[in-house]
Structure 1
Amino acid sequence: MKSTIHPGRAAASTLSRWFVRKFLQYALVLLIALTINFALPRLAPGDPINYFAGQEINTLTAEQRARLKQELGLDRSVWKQYQDFITGAFRLDLGSSTKLGKPVTQVLRERMPWTFLLVAPALLLSSLIGVISGAYAAWSRGKRREVALLTTMLALQSLPGFWIGMLLIAVFAVKLGWLPSYGAVPLVHTGTGQYVIEIIRRMLLPVATITLATVGSHFLLTRSSMLDTLGQDYILMAEAKGVTRRGLIYRHALRNALLPVYTHLTMSLGILVSGAVVVETVFSYPGIGRLLYESVVARDFPMMQGVFLIITVGVIAANLLADLTYPLVDPRARSTKHLEGSA
């Protein structure tokens, strides 16, 4: 008598294997990124200590250089240095900043909340505006309002983020004097409502800059996906059955058109962290992006390595989130055949 496997158990086994494959894939990508991060200062021309000691290296004597090299572990074999770097990265021990004299992880913890304060509302606003206007433009294809929307979004998409930021500063900070043009207030302060208002006022221009710089991509992707979906047979059938215009757009077309948009949004979480470099620099905003700029100027390589690691982990985590949650959004991705065929 042949043994049979319960379909539920088979599906659960396939799903667990799929999860394991995904985690192993992204773990390998993270290891490769860490290896590249480790190799950069050692493959560059000259002595690696020149990159880790920063601008102060020119003032050190030969004896001080030797002592610093020993403290940084650069006198050990490359394999031992690599082992120490990998274990230190997983322990969140990334060394000390040569410019600030603080542990890299401490500085990153201080700066990361500021970047999240910019990225989170900017991503939410650009996504909502882009998706809603993209769906509306697809439904109004060929009409004047669709042409106006498409022209506006293409113009925003072509403008660099720093130029948008400078334009907003010139109008709302310099000419009108409504908003501050730079800086922020410490998050550690536990002040009153006026303190919260001041934080929001200083966030408005950077958030508006990131939103305007990224809304075009969400709009164009949603519009393209909606146009493809509106041409499907089931949409024509629903329209023939007398489904209302509102129901046709939001219950039938938009739900299916949002699948590629959802993937784009999740991956934008990681991309926006690195994309905030220009905006934070323009507004002198104390986030991860501004920290990277300051580290490059000061040749603070330990801090640069820490920021690169944060950006890499953010992009990998966003892609992993997209892969793991996509089956929850698209029922077709939950099938056993799809899971077995995916890498």
Structure 2
Amino acid sequence: MTTVRFFARRAAFYLFTAWAAITINFFLPRMMKGDPVSAYMARNQGRISPEAAASLRTLFGLDSDRTLLQQYGDYWVLMLSGDLGRAFSKGLAPVTEVIAVALPWTIGLVGVATVLSFVIGTSLGALIGWNRGSRADVVVPVATFFSTVPYFWMGLIAIAFFSTTLGWFPASHAYDKGAVPALTLDFVGQVIRHGTLPALTIVLASLGGWVLGMRNMMITVLDEDYVTVAQAKGLSNRRVLTRYAARNAVLPQLSSFALALGFIVGGTLVMELVFSYPGVGKLLLDATAAKDYPLMQGLFLVITLTVLVANVLADVAYAVLDPRTRQTEA
């Protein structure tokens, strides 16, 4: 019963959070000055008739004949049916199709880089904390230094050194110019080659936080009684490290990792701008500049749901690793 109550409370909390986020997602763009139809008419002066403009407002749910609450109800009906509208800034293409084109690039690059950063940083932090006071401590200030460097500068330095000077990696784009995306070894090789440099900068920029956080938690956990008892039983250092110390020290890291996974879909906007990489971050910037409500709402919806799902998975992992969580919250 304790487990059931725990998951029921968490489910209720996340359902309410999802409703609040979707509601804000609907109203926030409409609080901005202007609208997509007016922005489109300003860019195409004299080429849009009043009748066409009225039709566009109806298409985008901005019809003045319907109140804001009625538009809100229409938004929920369409969203639950899988229709996120049409992207005004992308030739009236369905929002789902526009997002589906950009999403794999962001998940493939930022997702892999985030997971690598977490695994490497957490592992290093655990080893450094276990061997505290050793020469391995020098890794902490070095990793922290890279975390303090503005990502924009780190990206430019990486391009100047690895691309311009050494010529090891391309400086921009996700694949060679003129290449047609296809599931072939040649194209996959292009994607890996183009994605290595931005992925490397993401890993370096975020590594310090994982290392420092895990190291500090390991130092705290090593003073706990259960670690002392495990060592007194004669268990090997490797088992004490993995089964007792690191397992408990990693728990606070899971929440941060869940947030990092959730925001993978949001992309790293600066990275995509520096490396001219196609992704969700750049798409969101373009949609905001064009006041493209449907595309903005679709992107915010995907990002919000991804963050919520990632947090749900983190709660489940947290409860499995630490049963005390279920008992306390239930």
- The TM-score, its normalising length taken from structure 2, stands at 0.89
Summarize deviations over 1:38-81 as a string: whole Å, max 9, x none.
11233234xxxx42226322224444433322333322121210
Q: CA RMSD in A?
A: 2.2
Secondary structure of the residue aligned to 2:86 is coil
CA contact (8 A) 2:319 2:325 kept: yes
Q: Residue 112 and residue 197 in structure 1: after superposition, are their counterparts in 2 closer, same or farther (change >3 A)? A: same
Deviation at 1:35, TM superposition (A): 1.2
Q: Residue 43 and residue 299 in structure 1: after superposition, are their counterparts in 2 closer, same or farther (change >3 A)? A: closer
Distance in 2, Cα, partners of 1:179 & 1:135 = 32
Summarize deviations over 1:133-173 as a string: whole Å, max 9, x none.
11122123233430x11111211221222222222111111
Q: Residue 141 and residue 34 in structure 1: after superposition, are their counterparts in 2 closer, same or farther (change >3 A)? A: same
Report 1:142-161 matches (<5 A).
Answer: 142-146=133-137, 148-161=138-151
Secondary structure of the residue aligned to 2:85 is coil
Deviation at 1:262, TM superposition (A): 2.3
Report the counterpart of residue 252 of structure 1 in structure 2. 244
Report 1:16-55 matches (<5 A).
Answer: 16-45=4-33, 50-53=34-37, 55=39
Deviation at 1:211, TM superposition (A): 1.1
Report the counterpart of residue 111 of structure 2 in structure 1. 120
User: Does structure 1 residue 130 correspond to structure 2 residue 121?
Assistant: yes
Report the counterpart of residue 279 of structure 1 in structure 2. 271
Task: Report runs of 4+ in structure 1 exceeding 6 Å deviation.
Answer: none
Q: Residue 325 and residue 138 in structure 1: after superposition, are their counterparts in 2 closer, same or farther (change >3 A)? A: closer
CA contact (8 A) 1:54 1:99 kept: no
User: Does structure 1 residue 183 correspond to structure 2 residue 173?
Assistant: yes
Summarize deviations over 1:260-289 as a string: whole Å, max 9, x none.
122322222012333522212211111111
Q: Residue 22 and residue 236 in structure 1: after superposition, are their counterparts in 2 closer, same or farther (change >3 A)? A: closer
CA contact (8 A) 1:52 1:302 kept: no
Matched residue count: 320
Give the gaps of 5 or more residues in structure 1: 1-10
Distance in 2, Cα, partners of 1:150 & 1:32 = 39
| Identity value in percent | 38
CA contact (8 A) 1:229 1:235 kept: yes
Distance in 2, Cα, partners of 1:262 & 1:300 = 35
Distance in 1, Cα, partners of 2:269 & 2:299 = 11
Report the counterpart of residue 288 of structure 1 in structure 2. 280
User: Does structure 1 residue 57 correspond to structure 2 residue 41?
Assistant: yes
User: Does structure 1 residue 332 correspond to structure 2 residue 324?
Assistant: yes
CA contact (8 A) 1:54 1:300 kept: no
In the alignment, which of 190, 194, 210 is matched to residue 198 of structure 1? 190
Name the aligned partner's letter for residue 95 of structure 2.
V
Q: Residue 295 and residue 127 in structure 1: after superposition, are their counterparts in 2 closer, same or farther (change >3 A)? A: same
Q: State which drifts further: 195-204 or 263-272.
A: 263-272
Report the counterpart of residue 4 of structure 1 in structure 2. none
- The TM-score, its normalising length taken from structure 1, stands at 0.86
Deviation at 1:119, TM superposition (A): 2.5
Report 1:222-233 matches (<5 A).
Answer: 222-233=214-225
CA contact (8 A) 2:247 2:321 kept: no
Distance in 2, Cα, partners of 1:113 & 1:41 = 25
Secondary structure of the residue aligned to 2:87 is coil
Distance in 1, Cα, partners of 2:279 & 2:285 = 10
Distance in 1, Cα, partners of 2:199 & 2:215 = 24
Q: State which drifts further: 82-91 or 273-282.
A: 273-282
Report the counterpart of residue 7 of structure 1 in structure 2. none
Q: State which drifts further: 240-249 or 162-171.
A: 240-249
Deviation at 1:37, TM superposition (A): 1.5
Name the aligned partner's letter for residue 338 of structure 1.
T
Give the gaps of 5 or more residues in structure 2: none
Q: Residue 70 and residue 243 in structure 1: after superposition, are their counterparts in 2 closer, same or farther (change >3 A)? A: closer
